[in-house]
């Protein structure tokens, strides 16, 4: 079955460390997204990519970086500049490039600070 | 730019009772509307979507939603809830522009009373 795979499910970060969250999709979708979810705040967009080798900042991009070298993959790096990284991170994809297509979600990665 | 409001943070209903979750949106043109459900520790699953046409939309798991342009609302309903419906529900709004993104509400947590 097609879908989105996020790994790892749980991740721990030490002070000053960069960590990378993996997101892979086999839905042949052009667009991919990264969201951060905190309790009571819904989903906030970090970065999104509408096509390979191109991506745009979302609402809370500071302290994060992404790459889109392959259509199937959109890894997110949480850098040491992100001072409050503890959250649930969700990756999504859609067949369209904008707000008129439903997004399909992975099962998320929970990041905590050691 | 579009926006979406879910006025209820937490709702508790008895098993077998009917359910209505509220969603209000703001957008100048006809919006693209979505309802998603999230079980604890998992990603979001699409319940239903409205793009155009019939204003009463049927979704999965027995849910339906009605688009009311005059009230800028897209409320989610279910005639009889089951204990397995306990989850977080998110309303989302998009637009037809290819440069736009989907905006998610802050969510409504649904608890089921035995």
- pLDDT, position B43: 94
Band the pLDDT of A100: cuts 50, 70, 90: confident
Is a pLDDT exceeding 70 seen at residue B55? Answer: yes
Band the pLDDT of B62: cuts 50, 70, 90: very high
Q: Provide the shortest C-alpha distance from residue A97 to chain B (in Å).
A: 6
Please tell me the number of Cα atoms within 13 Å of A2 on its side-chain side: 11
Q: Which of A74-78, B34-38, B53-57 has the lowest mean pLDDT?
A: B53-57
Band the pLDDT of A101: cuts 50, 70, 90: confident
Answer for the pair A80, A5: CB distance below 8 angstroms, yes or no: no
A-to-B residue pairs, Cβ atoms closer than 8 angstroms: 70
Number of H-type helices and E-type strands within chain A: 0, 11
How confident is the model over A18-32, as a mean pLDDT?
A: 96
- pLDDT, position A99: 78
- pLDDT, position B98: 60
Q: Provide the shortest C-alpha distance from residue A94 to chain B (in Å).
A: 11
- B106 in contact with A, Cβ within 8 Å: yes
Cβ-based contacts of A103 with chain B (< 8 Å): 44, 46, 102
Q: Which residue from B minimizes the CA distance to A90?
A: B43
Answer for the pair A2, A103: CB distance below 8 angstroms, yes or no: no
- A4 in contact with B, Cβ within 8 Å: yes
How confident is the model over B3-25, as a mean pLDDT?
A: 96
Q: Do B51 and A58 touch (CB under 8 A)?
A: no
What are B75-90's pLDDT values in tens digits? 999 999 999 999 999 9
Backbone region of residue A16 per phi and psi (left: phi > 0; alpha: psi in -120 to 50; beta: other values):
left
Nearest to A106 among B2, B43, B100 (CB): B43
What are A47-73's pLDDT values in tens digits? 999 999 999 999 999 999 999 999 999
């Amino acid at each position: 079955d097609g879908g989105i795979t996020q790994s790892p499910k749980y991740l721990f970060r030490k002070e000053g460390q960069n960590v990378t969250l993996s997101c892979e999709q086999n839905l042949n979708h052009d667009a991919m997204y990264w969201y951060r979810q905190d309790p009571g705040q819904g989903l906030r967009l970090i970065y999104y990519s509408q096509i390979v080798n191109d991506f745009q900042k979302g609402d809370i991009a500071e302290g994060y970086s992404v790459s889109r070298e392959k259509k199937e993959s959109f890894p997110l790096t949480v850098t040491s500049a992100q001072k409050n990284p503890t959250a649930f991170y969700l990756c999504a994809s859609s067949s369209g490039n904008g707000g008129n297509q439903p997004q399909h979600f992975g099962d998320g990665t929970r990041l905590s600070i050691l | 730019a579009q926006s979406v409001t879910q006025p209820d943070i937490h709702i508790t209903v008895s098993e077998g009772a009917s359910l209505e979750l509220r969603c209000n949106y703001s957008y100048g043109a006809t919006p693209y509307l979505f309802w998603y459900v999230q079980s604890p520790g998992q990603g979001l699953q699409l319940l239903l979507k409205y793009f155009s046409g019939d204003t009463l939309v049927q979704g999965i798991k027995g849910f339906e939603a009605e688009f009311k342009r005059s009230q800028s609302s897209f409320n989610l309903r279910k005639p009889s809830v089951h204990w397995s419906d306990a989850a977080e529900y998110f309303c989302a709004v998009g637009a037809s522009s290819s440069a736009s993104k989907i905006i998610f509400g802050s969510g409504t947590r649904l608890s089921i009373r035995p």
